[in-house]
């Protein structure tokens, strides 16, 4: 296989870990967003804080995040757009990477109930796993491209 066909093959191959990590992140955002948007008062009670309006707004933002991820993943399946997944994956990683630390701070400083702390820390840990998986997927794409180039 010559250098050109190798590069073309790499560009059209599946995104490895990045695609599934983004899809899992989007699915979790959609599920979390729906819970927050539909039942913000219940979640407020679990957390032990009185902020249902903010929780509903955050839920709507999460639903939008999930829709954007779904759009990006579906568009990046086209061969002419396969490089877009890496760019969007990096942007999403930058957006979610600080989230686990923010959830640790929130659990310590702002959430009075033990159940709420557990939920906030679990949420931060799940997003942390998605961030690590996306980072590994981006790194794998870069290494694959370097080996092909």
Looking at residue 35, what is its pLDDT? Answer: 98
Looking at residue 143, what is its pLDDT? Answer: 74
Q: pLDDT 10s per residue in the chain (149 long)? A: 444 444 444 443 344 899 999 999 999 999 999 999 999 999 999 999 999 999 999 999 999 999 999 999 999 888 777 678 899 999 999 999 999 999 999 999 999 999 999 999 999 999 999 999 999 999 988 777 667 76
Assigned token pair, 70? 């779904």
Q: 8 in a domain, yes or no? A: no
Q: 119 in a domain, yes or no? A: yes
* Location of structure tokens 């600080």: 98
Are the CB atoms for 69 and 62 separated by under 8 Å?
no
Q: 31 in a domain, yes or no? A: yes
Looking at residue 149, what is its pLDDT? Answer: 65
Q: 149 in a domain, yes or no? A: no
Of 12, 22, 127, nearest in space to 73 by CA: 22
Looking at residue 15, what is its pLDDT? Answer: 47
What is the greatest pairwise CA distance in the chain?
63
Looking at residue 81, what is its pLDDT? Answer: 78
- What is the value of pTM for the model shown? 0.84
Q: 10 in a domain, yes or no? A: no
Looking at residue 147, what is its pLDDT? Answer: 75
Number of other residues whose CB lies within 10 A of the CB of residue 5: 10
| Owning domain of residue 53 | 17-144
Number of separate domains in the chain: 1
Q: 3 in a domain, yes or no? A: no
């Amino acid at each position: 296989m010559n250098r050109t066909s190798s590069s073309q093959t790499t560009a059209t191959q599946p995104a490895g870990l990045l695609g599934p990590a983004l899809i899992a992140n989007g699915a979790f955002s959609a599920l979390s967003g729906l819970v927050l948007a539909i039942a913000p008062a219940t979640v407020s009670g679990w957390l032990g804080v009185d902020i249902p309006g903010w929780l509903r707004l955050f839920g709507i933002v999460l639903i939008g995040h999930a829709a954007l991820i779904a759009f990006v993943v579906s568009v990046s399946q086209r061969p002419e757009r396969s490089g877009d997944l890496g760019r969007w994956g990096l942007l999403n990683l930058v957006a979610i990477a600080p989230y686990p630390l923010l959830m640790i701070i929130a659990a310590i400083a702002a959430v009075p109930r033990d159940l709420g702390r557990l939920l906030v820390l679990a949420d931060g840990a799940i997003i942390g796993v998605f961030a690590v998986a996306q980072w590994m997927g981006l790194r794998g794409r870069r290494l694959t491209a370097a080996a092909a180039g």
